[in-house]
Amino acid sequence: MTKTIRPTRSGLLAAALFTTAAMATPALADGEVNIYSYRQPVLIQPLLDAFTKETGIKTNVIFASDGLAERIQAEGANSPADVMMTVDIGRLDGAKQLGITQPVSSEVVNANIPAEFRDPEGHWIGLTTRARVVYASKDRVEQDSITYEELADEKWRGRICTRSGQHVYSIGLFASMVAHHGAEKTEEWLAGVRDNLASKPSGNDRAQVKAIFAGECDISLGNTYYMGKMQTNEKEPEQKDWANSVKILFPNTEERGTHVNISGVVMAKNAPHPAEALKLIEFLSSDAAQQVYAEANYEYPVKPGVAASERVKSWGEIKPDSLPLAEIANNRKTASELVDKVGFNDGPSS
């Protein structure tokens, strides 16, 4: 059985609730693993239930949208966290840079997860991938292929929508451009994309698709899984109309491949249950867990041979860029500096 503890205001309150729960049920008892999660509990619950059924190890979950890595750092040696689950290479590598992780050494994990989706020193492990793609209007964009480089072409002047250039999803893509082309060419490219924007960057990925539906722009950058979220949104059915108005273009399919980012997991530096934590990480890398986790999140499994869900496959064939994510992480600072240097978030210069 999994206990899910939801903060109503902040990561600090989440930790307080965790402490209260610990008084009722010994969180540090044998046979348990404590999870700090940026991913919503509903998305990981099926996995945790299966893990407990298979191993007998109970799971305790703290969920928060931000601040968990910093919380682990502040808790220091007394932190109850065994693992942290999060998204984006920036957040995973950021946890490593904060000094709150420890390397995982596992033949099981190494066999299941390709090297490009693992930290070379073992401090983070990828679990699923999502592609940074182009959403394009079905009515106003005839082409069915595109490259990231092409987004700087003048033919797209006033036709591109995107979220903030400093968002972690944007920085991941821009860092991959630095890795492939160098800082100077990426700066020129960013300036070109900036001048092709229909407006100043704002909103999330779904907001960009809404803008395409409304005729405010013709293409946008976004993560693949948002298509699944829109297509299945019963609470806001208008999002189904947004999704139906666009097609997904996987950039650079004929060349190096499409930029992908990951969701992943780290083992906390001071994990009180390292053996149980390792069992959880190994379980999450297994065939069955990979399939369930990827399907629940409309993402791609990272384990070779595990098929994506039928919905995800319906969006088209993906050829992932094989560039190691660790190399992308090394270029995030440069990418962020270039975003500010060209005034990307200020929108078109003319």
Binding region for Fe cation? 225-226
Classify residue 234 as exposed, middle or buried by CB count within 10 Å of its CB (0-12, 13-18, 19+): exposed
Cβ atoms of 49 and 65 within 8 Å: the answer is no
DSSP string across 19-59: HHHHHHS-TTSTTEEEEEESS-HHHHHHHHHHHHHHH--EE
Strands 2-5 and 58-63: parallel
Q: Which amino acid is at 191?
A: A
Mark residue 103 as left, alpha or beta (left: phi above 0; alpha: psi -120 to 50; beta: remaining).
beta
Which residues lie across from 125 on neighbouring strands? 118, 265
CA 8, 10, 11 angle in degrees (round to 5)?
Answer: 115
Classify residue 304 as exposed, middle or buried by CB count within 10 Å of its CB (0-12, 13-18, 19+): exposed
Which residues lie across from 261 on neighbouring strands? 130
Q: Binding-site residues, please?
A: 225-226
